[in-house]
Amino acid sequence: MFDRIYIEEAVRDLPMTRKLIERFPKAEQIACERYGEVFNPKRQNFRAQKRNPALILAEKKGNRVLPTPPDYGLGADHHFYFSHMLNCLYDCRYCFLQGMYQSANYLLFVNFDDFIEDIRSEIDAHPGERCFFFSGYDCDSLAMDSVTGFVDRFLPLFSDLPTASLELRTKSVNTASLLKREPIENVVTAFSLNPEPVAEALEHKAPSVDARLAAINKLASAGWKIGLRFDPLIYFKDAVDVYQDFIDRVFNTVPMDAVHSVTLGAFRSPKTIFKKMESLYPEEPLFMGNLQLQGGMISYAGAIEDELIGTISDRILGFVNRDRFFPCQ
Amino acid sequence: MIHFATALHCEANPVIHFYGMKPCGQLGKARFFKGETARLVVTGVGSIASAIGVTSLGERYSEPNALWLNLGICGHPSLYIGDALIASSIRSEAAKERFFPQFPIATPWRGQEVRTLASPSSQYQPGVAFDMEAYGFYSAALAFTTVEYAHCIKIVSDNEAQPANAPLDKSLISDHIETHIQSIDTFAGQILDTLGTTEFSESLAALQKRALSKFRFAETQRHQFTERLRKLNALEPETEFDTTLQAPDTKALLNALQVQIDQLASTQVC
Ligand code: SF4
């Protein structure tokens, strides 16, 4: 899976590091003082690295758990996000990670205990209030779970903390570590979904839509809460019709009582990140037309975005109540 | 295109022969050679000489899609003489910064730390190859490319069992390089395949020429015009866009191109 593992000095002797080194005995081990030496230098080509990414094992220092921007939430009193890993197994053409980081190597922060302690501190700092934690902001929460062991380490924390919730954001069908345990009421597995033409053209290496829907149903049948994330909506000829049919199909497949929340957002990106994505994939039609720059953000031209969000919101609201629906405009 | 840098003529000779290169000039100590698919500079020994040679080659031949390879000999405590390795990290006793080359494809050779020294040494260290050029080569090559497309391939010329002793056996060094040149060429070809190149189609190149002679573009507009042609080239390279030349001015021309792009993109996103 990896032919190189970069190991930061600070984590060389952690049990998780040793386990991973044993797990990939053929990988060359390359020592570094700080992960930034490998991950951050400017003269790197994300697209080229994506062909053969290495694993970097490092320690996350400083702010590990951060508040989300004010308009990004699911109705709790406080919302936070954290990233135990940067970069993803999949290669979605619209993914902001490729515009955000210089390197496509998988950077795994192995000091999980520090993350867990920080999550606990946030919960302790807000007694009696509901705190929602998003994982999978800079990676897919489940895609590499068999390597990271993320679910096994983080979920027990939430089963003991009824005022806190955790979102696992994913396109993965790698749900074994969830299915082997009893469902936890305050853990939401949120699947990103797009209709087949979009998934096939833009969500490279991700499981098919059918496979994702099957995974959703398995989890729902086992009693797990599901999030449905129609984000980012992609504009193309006939997009509205295709998305409306897709919404019908999803809601006719997924049992409604398992649905925790539904979110919706059209493709958008800060200008600097967009420019970098565009320069990596200059031949990609997604980055070429029907877009506008407004307030430092690139998004679809107003009328296109309004139509996409408006018609698809209406369709979704035919299936779920407003209190479970969180469109992002 | 491959851009080779070697310190010595005896390292360069098998490469020159393999790629059918001819001499094409010199600058100071640096000697240049070129063939159809590869160029080479013999830099002379040492990190600074290597950096100067690489910079001269890069400035002489502007080539955004080149793969840069430093090919030469090294000392290693335990590898066999004649074994090849590729640098997975490069450091110098004279500098703090370290380089970490990245690999878009799996490499046929083992990765090793390469440490660039100012003079030969037989104080070998476990897992470390000693050379005298890699650091200078690498820091200079990064002015022209990224860490995926600059690599140091080293052939072991001495080890603990047979430490370096002067003078160098030049014909043995050439033989060692020659043994590996085919696999180096295969590796280079595979890496170069990861770099896409696109040229304008004939119809778009003609449109570009006619538009540039018909309209007076401000600098930003010229840039926008080339960008829009690039997008059209990716979307519909063979379409005739002659009617756009009937636009009354550059602004209308640019708008007309964007309308075409919007339409085509919406049908090709998926
Ligand atoms: S699954 Fe998510 S994190 Fe991974 S590449 Fe796609 S958008 Fe990015």
What's the predicted TM-score (pTM) here?
Answer: 0.94
- Does the C-beta of A171 come closer than 6 Å to ligand 1? yes
Residue A323 lies in a domain: yes
Q: Measure CB to CB from residue A38 to each of B100, B103, B111 and give the nearest one.
A: B100
Inter-chain touch A283–B196, beta carbons under 8 Å? yes
- Does the C-beta of A309 come closer than 6 Å to ligand 1? no
Neighbours of A189 (CB within 10 A): 27
**What number is the average pLDDT over the span A102-110?**
98
Q: At what angle do helices A112-125 and A150-159 cross, to 10 degrees?
A: 20
Integer CA distances (angstroms), A281 to A11, B17, B132, in order: 35, 37, 38
Q: How far is CA B187 from its chain centroid? A: 13
- pLDDT at site B206: 87
Which residue bears the tokens 């984000």? A231
- pLDDT at site B242: 67
d(CA A59, CA A8): 7
Inter-chain touch B231–A288, beta carbons under 8 Å? yes
Inter-chain touch A197–B106, beta carbons under 8 Å? no
Residue nearest to atom 6 of ligand 1 (CA): A92
Residue A2 lies in a domain: no
Inter-chain touch A288–B234, beta carbons under 8 Å? yes
**What number is the average pLDDT over the span A48-70?**
96
* Pairing mode of beta strands A55-58, A4-8: parallel
Taking the CA of residue A96 as reference, the ligand 1 atom at the shortest distance is 8
| Beta bridge partner(s), residue A65 | A82
| Beta bridge partner(s), residue A136 | none
Q: Six-digit token pair at A88?
A: 């993803």
CA distance B38 to chain A (A): 21
Phi-psi region of A222 (alpha: psi -120 to 50; beta: other; left: phi over 0): alpha
Residue A50 lies in a domain: no
All residues of chain B having their beta carbon less than 8 Å from the beta carbon of residue A6 are: 100
Residue A44 lies in a domain: no
pLDDT of A329 > 60? The answer is no
CA distance A44 to chain B (A): 5
Per-residue confidence of chain B (270 residues) as pLDDT tens digits?
999 999 999 999 999 999 999 999 999 999 999 999 999 999 999 999 999 999 999 999 988 899 999 999 999 999 999 999 999 999 998 899 999 999 999 999 999 999 999 999 999 999 999 999 999 999 999 999 999 999 999 999 999 999 987 678 899 999 999 999 999 999 999 999 998 777 788 888 888 888 889 999 999 999 999 999 999 999 988 877 667 788 899 999 999 999 999 999 999 999
Search chain B and give the residue with CA nearest A201.
B270
Residue A70 lies in a domain: yes
CATH fourth-level superfamily of B2-194? Nucleoside phosphorylase domain (3.40.50.1580)
Compute the residue count for chain B.
270
Q: Six-digit token pair at A11?
A: 């984590």
d(CA A78, CA B193): 49
CATH of the domain at A315: 3.80.30.30
Q: Give the tens place of pLDDT for each residue, A294-303.
A: 999 999 999 9
- Does the C-beta of A140 come closer than 6 Å to ligand 1? yes
- pLDDT at site B201: 86
Which residue bears the tokens 């994505």? A277
Q: State the count of interchain CB pairs (< 8 A) between A and B.
A: 107
Question: Considering chain A, what is the average pLDDT of its residues?
Answer: 96
Domain that holds residue A170: 60-327
Peptide bond between residue B167 and the one before it cis (omega within 30 degrees of 0):
yes
Phi, psi (rounded to 5 degrees) for B5? -130, 125
Q: How far is CA B36 from its chain centroid? A: 15
Residue A220 lies in a domain: yes
Number of domains in chain A: 1
d(CA B32, CA B25): 5
pLDDT of A185 > 90? The answer is yes
Q: Six-digit token pair at A8?
A: 């930061």
